[in-house]
Amino acid sequence: MKYFAVVIIGFFLIADTVAEEIGSVSTKFKWLGPNDKVVVEVFEDPEVPGVACYLSHAKTGGMSGAIGVAEDTSDASIACRQVGPIKIPGRIQSGKDNGEEVFKKRTSLVFKSTQVVRFYDSTRSVLIYLTYSDRVIEGSPKNSISVVPVLPWPANSGVSN
């Protein structure tokens, strides 16, 4: 039974999508453990090359935050940008993958996560990214969206000296 619990906890610890931390700022001083902070991370859409999303979210500090048992608040914001040529796969263009999860980060030990899902508006040729928080029992209405217009990418987009 102990091994089963270890496997389940291990699954929740590694089930997050990988994002690169860009930086953070402290928002509340804690005497013991790290301060509460807002963290900025970046991830790329795994199915749509050429799109990068920057996500800011709250990170609870203190002793509970230091050992990973604190529950972070549901506050998050997202900004996605075209960073290269975009080629949209057919199943995304057709709308079949609307609402597909492209990023997920655990915000409590087991029951809560922040997610990013993608939609495609073919009429306007834009990708829409929605971030929200969910919990096993109930989610949060707090959300944020970012819209990326699919534009032609210049052939010579490198920065010259």
CA–CA separation, 126 and 120 (whole Å): 6
Examine residue 59 and state whether it is found in any structural domain, yes or no: yes
Examine residue 79 and state whether it is found in any structural domain, yes or no: yes
Number of domains forming the structure of the chain:
1
CA–CA separation, 27 and 49 (whole Å): 34
45: tokens are: 């859409």
Over the stretch 57-115, which tens digit does the pLDDT of each residue have?
A: 887 665 565 556 566 666 889 999 999 999 999 999 988 899 999 988 876 656 677 88
Task: Supply the range of the domain harboring residue 60.
Answer: 2-149
Examine residue 111 and state whether it is found in any structural domain, yes or no: yes
Examine residue 154 and state whether it is found in any structural domain, yes or no: no
Tokens 């995304």 correspond to: 92
Examine residue 109 and state whether it is found in any structural domain, yes or no: yes
pTM: 0.76
Left, alpha or beta for 43 (phi > 0: left; psi -120 to 50: alpha)? Answer: beta
CA–CA separation, 130 and 121 (whole Å): 13
CA–CA separation, 121 and 128 (whole Å): 8
Examine residue 160 and state whether it is found in any structural domain, yes or no: no
Examine residue 159 and state whether it is found in any structural domain, yes or no: no
Please state, in angstroms and as integers, the Cα–Cα distance from residue 40 to each residue in 22, 76, 79, 122, 137, following that order.
5, 10, 11, 30, 27
Q: Is-contact 146 128, C-beta < 8 A?
A: yes
The number of residues making up the chain comes to 161
Tokens 């050429």 correspond to: 50
Burial class of residue 130 (count of CB atoms within 10 Å of its CB; 0-12, 13-18, 19+): middle
3-state secondary structure of 57: strand
Confidence tier at 12 by pLDDT (50, 70, 90)? very low
Confidence tier at 34 by pLDDT (50, 70, 90)? low
Examine residue 77 and state whether it is found in any structural domain, yes or no: yes
